[in-house]
Amino acid sequence: MSENPLPISVFHMLERQIGRKILVILDQSYGFEGILAAITNEPAGIWLSEAKATVLRSTIARPIPQVVSREERSEIFINLGSVQRIEVLHEK
């Protein structure tokens, strides 16, 4: 039996967010924004629909990274092994 490197609770948390808009940060200056469409266990990952590649910037005056540009990407698969942070975005 292969061991799953991610706790099951991570998958449960993500399953509750299906259909919501999320921001997935891959490194300090790059990520993806889109609607969480599906979650896979093997390989551990998520599918985003209506995805946009995002560029993030932070400065000394604003240390929390802000989205500075977006580029349309349609649908995309993201391996959870390369994700630093996932944020659920609330509609205004």
The residues pairing with 22 across neighbouring beta strands, listed in sequence order, are: 34, 88
Whole-prediction pTM value?
0.80
Q: Smallest Cα–Cα separation from 21: which of 49, 44, 43?
A: 49
CA separation for the pair 67, 56 (Å, rounded): 5
Residue pair 46/26 in contact by the 8 Å Cβ criterion: no
**Consecutive 10-residue runs of the chain (92 residues): their mean pLDDT?**
64 89 92 94 92 92 87 92 91 68
Domains observed in the chain: 8-84 (2.30.30.100)
What string of DSSP letters covers 43-85?
A: TTEEEEEEEEEEEEE--SS--S-EEEEEEEEEEEEEEGGG-SE
Identify the pLDDT of residue 1. Answer: 46
